Structure 1
Amino acid sequence: MTDLCRTYYVSQKHGNDQNSGRSSAEPYASLFAINRLKLQPGDRILLENNSVFAGQFLQITDSGTKDLPIVISAYEDRTQAEQHPPVIAANGQGIWYQDYGCELDSPTHTRSGYVSSAVLLYDAEYVTLQDLELTNSGQDIIGERYSAPDKMNRTGVAVAARDKGVRSGITLRNLVIHDVNGNVYDKHMNNGGIYMTALKPIARNTEAARFRDVTVEGCYVDRVSRWGIAVGYTYAHAAFAGAELSEEAFLKYGHENVTIRDNYVKRSGGDAITVMYALRPVVEHNCSDSAAQEINDRIYQEPQKRGGKVAAAIWPWKCKDALFRFNEAADTRLNQDGMAYDADSGDGTVYEYNFSRQNEGGCVMFCLEEAIHSRFCNNVSFDDLSGTISPAQNPDALLSHNRYYVRKGIPFVRKNMDGGTYTQKADEIILLEEEER
């Protein structure tokens, strides 16, 4: 830090927006005071523990640098012994407009609309967000139905890139995000716990919007619609058509150096953790618990022309050489997918040393003709249901040195999810006795 770096304090309990905000003795009272500031590299925004910022939000459009990131975090409440992370309870506020600027890879996906986010980082870079609790419930919105097709998308944290080319250095760490009541149907809007997207630039002479050096770690995400954690869908999907994905396409249009680790996602409405359009992302030491809670006829009732009534736990989309290791996925709810892991339309996906347990759609799917060079090695599947694997029209998956504990009557290949080609080497299938389940 330098003498030019500033620290701003905010306390819902002890602050006043007429204060200077520059010390814990004179904190601001609201996040509205922060949203009015022009932040500089190295600035810090500290929210007091035990504060609850109801109906408030943060919208950050400024950037730090690699050596001087903008940090948004917490500070101790010295008036109480018990410390609780500061809460930003957006309650449907923090509204911004998202527009991909083009059709998405399927005409059934929503491409534009209003979004409510507890925290929005828009065209910002080198920002660290940590040690906060975020909610965005719709329970106080009069007349809103939970499964309404036109319901606004909501996010705990939304990150969007559009008009400044590559956005680097986004770190989301030790966040508690829960009760985000977004749109049940919109897969690729900023909709869920944490969602990052790249939108088509409207400024002239702008390089492609994309992300580099993204870290999401140590976050707890619970009861969110629709996604748990997603990084990061892009308007530039056309650059990734076909099965063989070139590194050059990612260096121009995709995301680089994405790490998602040590997160726990529980009771997500749809998918738990997904990395998209990324070159060599690493997804490790994460846990998905009871994903796909809303992908059923009871809740998913009015999709209209939207597609996508499918969800899995931890998986990539259109990535090259994605690495998934030391993850755990349990109790993913049954739907057309419903498995723990899914190598989906990517080139060189590797799953190694992962564990799955009682996922109602099985252990792993190799999804369709553009899922090439997939490897599934040294993993353990325990009592996964419906069928252990789903080789769905994929050309060349390798399964090696895995151990599958299977109850009687569960087929190795899931019914109606076959047709693909796979090779097994040194896999072991062990029949479970009833008392072992």
Structure 2
Amino acid sequence: MTDHFISSSDGDDANDGLTPASAWRTLARAEGLDPSPGDALLLARGSRFTGQSLHLHDISGDAERPVTIGCYGDPSQPLPIIACDGNGRWFEDYRAPIGGSPHRNRGTVSTALLLRDCSHVHVHDIEITNRRIDDADGHRYNDLDVMDRTGVAVIAENGGTSRGVRLERLYIHDVNGNIYDKHMANGGIQVIAHLPEDASTIETNIARFDDLRIADNIVRDTSRWGIAVGYTAYLNVIDHGGRDADGNWDNTFDYGDGTIDEATLRRYGATNVVVEGNVVERAGGDAITVMYCDRPLVRRNVSREAAIDIRDDVYTATTNDRVAAAIWPWRCRNAIFEYNEAYDTLNADRGNGDGQAWDADFGDGTEYRYNYSRNNSGGCIMFCNEKAVNSLFHCNVSDRDRMGAIDIPRNPDASVTGNTFIIAEDADPLRLDRADGTADVEGNTFVYAGATPKRTEWHPRGSHVSYSGNVYIGFADTPEQDAAEAPQPYRYDGDNNQSSPQMHRSK
């Protein structure tokens, strides 16, 4: 096992880089490395790599001996910082359509730390920025054509399944990317799968992720995303992409009844994904999202002030996808969200079509349990439209989220059980402006925080909501179903793993 050392103050690229005394000086010196399992690339504490980037390709350790990228030196010194400042440019190409405008599928990206077709690589204890220094590119910061930027991008492309990647204890901040692009490598941490360059290997060399862990990172002031995991060009297979007369995918998709086939998702999507213990503050759009994952586990994360750019006086070049929430899945199967906290998601009153803490979105079997939310501008939980199915929201606390705690636009089967909702004075238990879905609301406690009893619409026009066994405090009226029966306790028998719990309801 060999360690390589880099120091911006004491190093020299003419050195061999094998000891702290003979460290290299720049990150560029490391980009030709072909490390063996167990090797390490270590950056000196106190070093600042201004205008530099670290792009590593086709590097692989093994499960017992990962390749490590971290730091060394006096622990009283600050973490080494890669201050990319718009450098580290590469060309991203999904080689397939990935959704409607403004979702670009190819273009130039600036990335501070890029891992491309890497496996069993552990990255830890590094500070990363990628600032927009000025408007020398001729664009304002909120123009549609601003270059995408990333703190860390992990790309699967030509190497098949990327396994065993760990991103831990990173401090990523001030990544001033494009405020509109959702699915380019654009934000704090982006993990993405492209189609391989050799089109003949699309089915034999599937680019995907397995055994991915993103943990204990701090991500602040990044555009557009905070942490996004699992977006993939193979969505054209998973979501039954349409084809034109020439046989090319045509950017249309068939989500069926919303359910997701397990074998298909495990073949083309991400597996064994854990996103844990991260703090994301002031993300330009969404804070943490997992996409196209089978049974991802998202726990003990904190989001504060997400969606800072998703407002009608900033997000002005297009109105498409002017939506963002805090922590949520897209097209995942049996996603678990537990012990997370989401505070102050912004701008539902300024053009953000979402603004919730949580959003079960076009997934199958999404489960939120034991989470806490407070003062999110668009509410607590959204069950997003017809293709979010088998969703369960239970044993959570919503503390004065705005507008409406429960948001069910056109949803077919939301289950809301055993939660505590403290309703703000200017809010309602349901988000009334689009409560045209179906929900089973059972065994919850609703507490109105205002000074005088509140009247609300328990059955807005177009809604299909059933109430049973709930407790209502501070309300002048209650749903007819619950008014005729005494509330009964909600009981939950479950465990702390990713399997679906067994629910026991009594009336």
Give the TM-score range, shorter chain. over 0.9
Q: Percent identity?
A: 43
User: Match for residue 336 of structure 1?
Assistant: 353
Question: How many Å separate the matches in 1 of 2:434 and 2:81?
Answer: 44
Partner of 2:120: 126
Aligned length: 426
SS for the counterpart of 1:106 is coil
Partner SS for 1:32: helix
Structure 2 Cα separation of the partners of residues 428 and 98 of structure 1? 48
Identify which of 28, 47, 52 aligns with 2:48.
52
> How much does 1:201 deviate?
1.2
* 1:150 equivalent in structure 2: 145
CA distance in 2, matches of 1:32, 1:423: 57
Hey, what's the Cα distance between the residues in 2 that align with 1:161 and 1:408? 48
- Structure 1 residues 44 and 141, CA, compared in 2 at 3 Å: closer, same or farther? farther
Q: CA deviation at 1:36?
A: 2.2
Is 1:233 the counterpart of 2:225 in the alignment?
Answer: no
4+ runs deviating over 3 angstroms: none
Cα distance, 1:141 vs structure 2: 5.5
Structure 1 residue 408 corresponds to structure 2 residue 425: yes
2:195 to 197, 200, 205: 200
Cα distance in 2 between the residues matched to 1:44 and 1:144: 40
SS where residue 267 of structure 2 aligns? Answer: helix
- Equivalent in the alignment of 2:489: none
After TM superposition, list the pairs within 5 Å mapping 1:27-426 onto structure 2: 27-61=23-57, 62-77=59-74, 82-140=76-134, 142=136, 143-203=138-198, 204-205=200-201, 206-238=204-236, 239-240=238-239, 241-242=255-256, 243-303=258-318, 307-333=320-346, 334=348, 335-426=352-443
| Partner AA of 1:266 in structure 2 | E
User: How far does the alpha carbon of each residue in 1:106-133 deviate from its partner, in whole angstroms, 9 at most, with x for none?
Assistant: 3541111011000000111111110000
Conserved 8 A contact 2:292-2:330:
yes
Change (3 A) 1:66 1:434: farther
Structure number, greater radius of gyration:
2
More displaced 10-residue stretch of structure 1: 278-287 or 233-242: 233-242
CA distance in structure 1 between the aligned counterparts of 2:450 and 2:10, rounded to whole angstroms: 60
Matched residue SS, 1:351 = strand
**What letter is aligned with 1:41?**
P
Residue by residue over 1:120-153, the C-alpha shift from the partner in whole angstroms, topping out at 9 and shown as x without a partner, is 0011111111000000001145244211211110
| 1:428 alignment counterpart | 445
- The separation in 1 between residues aligned to 2:214 and 2:41, in whole angstroms, is 19
- 2 CA distance for matches of 1:408 and 1:24? 60
The whole-number CA distance in structure 1 between the counterparts of 2:209 and 2:124 is 19
The answer as to whether partners of 1:374 and 1:396 remain within 8 angstroms in 2 is yes
The answer to whether the 8 Å contact 1:407/1:434 transfers is no
1:8-58 superposed Cα distances (whole Å, 9 cap, x missing partner): 000001100011100011100010100122222221000000100000111
Cα distance, 1:434 vs structure 2? 6.4
**1-side partners of 2:134 and 2:317: how far apart?**
22
1:22 alignment counterpart: 18
Partner Cα distance (1:109, 1:249) in 2: 24
Matched position secondary structure for 2:153: strand
Q: Any idea what SS the aligned residue of 1:25 has? A: helix
SS of residue in 2 equivalent to 1:388: strand
TM-score (norm 2): 0.82
Structure 2: which 5+ runs fail to align? Answer: 240-254, 453-507
Once residues 42 and 19 of structure 2 are traced to their aligned partners in structure 1, the CA distance between those partners, rounded to angstroms, is 10
Larger relative contact order, structure 1 or 2 (CA cutoff 8 Å, min sep 6): 1
Q: Is the 8 A contact 1:270 1:293 kept in 2?
A: yes
Alignment partners' CA distance in 1, 2:115 and 2:444 = 45
How far, CA to CA, are the matches of 1:417 and 1:291 in structure 2? Answer: 22
Q: CA RMSD in A?
A: 1.4
TM-score, scaled to structure 1: 0.95
Where does the alignment leave 5 or more consecutive residues of structure 1 unmatched? Answer: none
